[in-house]
């Protein structure tokens, strides 16, 4: 039984890393295993998460702005470190998922995002659990090597599970969760369960 509500924000200072995609996929996966999920779409310019949920029959998960009930709250965020909505999401979250590809350029932006999160944590006094989620992984490529090591090099703890690059995820915005191939649904579910069972930190985060 779950009585506690977790607030999980999908974050990166750069656009196109897969924040919205992974946020809605994780939402759909948790829904299939019976968890109550709400998605707060704070990317009010793009509204990718809202339109995906609406068009795939999951519009009931879209939160209007404040949460009442619901065991898991997922927040999609704008790709701007200086946006007040980004800062609001970071301050609300007990768990922050840094969504990034394994590309060195994206890891640099991710490191800048971590520094911005540290500043927010200093001013709010809240110290959320932060994990890095690799998205768009192409296995067998050189960039897919040593993913855990490269996460720690930028001061981030990686999730064990990751999400591969699949065209099916691009189609899913029209086709919905149920039309995804089983392997895709399984990898998203593995990520979703890892995220949903992360511990929430209450003490100050130790510097690496
Ligand atoms: N794992 C993936 N495999 C293939 N395409 C992906 C994957 N993740 C994201 N994409 C695609 O990349 C683009 C950007 O993703 P999106 O979730 O909108 O990024 P963000 O919200 O970070 O700006 C979209 O076209 C999306 O379909
Ligand atoms: Mg987005």
Confidence of residue 106 (pLDDT cuts 50, 70, 90): very high
- Backbone φ and ψ of 8, nearest 5°: -120, 120
Domains of the chain and CATH, by start: 6-196 (3.40.50.300)
Atom of ligand 1 nearest to the CA of 137: 1
Q: What is the pTM of this model?
A: 0.93
CB proximity list for 105: less than 8 A, separation 6 or greater:
none
| Residue the block writes with tokens 């999920």 | 37
Atom of ligand 1 nearest to the CA of 23: 17
- Backbone φ and ψ of 37, nearest 5°: -130, 135
Looking at residues 112-141, what average pLDDT do you find? 94
Q: Which ligand sits nearest to residue 43's alpha carbon?
A: 2
- Reported as a single tens digit per residue, the pLDDT across 52-90 is 999 888 999 998 656 555 579 999 999 999 999 999 999
- Reported as a single tens digit per residue, the pLDDT across 14-62 is 999 999 999 999 999 999 999 999 999 999 999 999 999 998 889 999 9
DSSP H stretches of helix in 38-77: 48-55
Rounded CA-CA distance 106/104 in Å is 5
């Amino acid at each position: 039984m779950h009585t506690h509500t977790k607030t999980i924000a999908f974050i990166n200072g750069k656009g196109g890393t897969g924040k919205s995609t992974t946020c809605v996929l994780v939402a759909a996966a948790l829904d299939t295993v019976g968890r109550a999920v709400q998605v707060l779409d704070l990317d009010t310019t793009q509204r990718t998460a809202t339109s995906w949920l609406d068009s795939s029959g999951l519009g009931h998960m879209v939160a209007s702005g404040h949460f009442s009930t619901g065991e898991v709250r997922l927040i999609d965020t704008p790709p701007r470190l200086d946006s007040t909505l980004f800062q609001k999401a970071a301050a609300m979250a007990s768990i922050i998922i840094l969504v990034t590809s394994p590309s060195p350029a994206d890891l640099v932006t991710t490191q800048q995002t971590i520094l911005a999160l540290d500043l927010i944590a200093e001013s709010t006094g809240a110290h959320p659990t932060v994990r890095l989620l690799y998205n768009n992984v192409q296995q067998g490529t050189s960039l897919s090597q040593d993913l855990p090591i490269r996460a720690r090099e930028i001061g981030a703890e990686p999730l064990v599970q990751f999400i591969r690059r699949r065209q099916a995820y691009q189609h899913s915005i029209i086709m919905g969760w149920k039309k995804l191939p089983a392997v895709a649904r399984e990898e998203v579910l593995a990520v979703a369960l890892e995220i949903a069972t992360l511990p929430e930190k209450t003490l100050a985060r130790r510097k690496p």
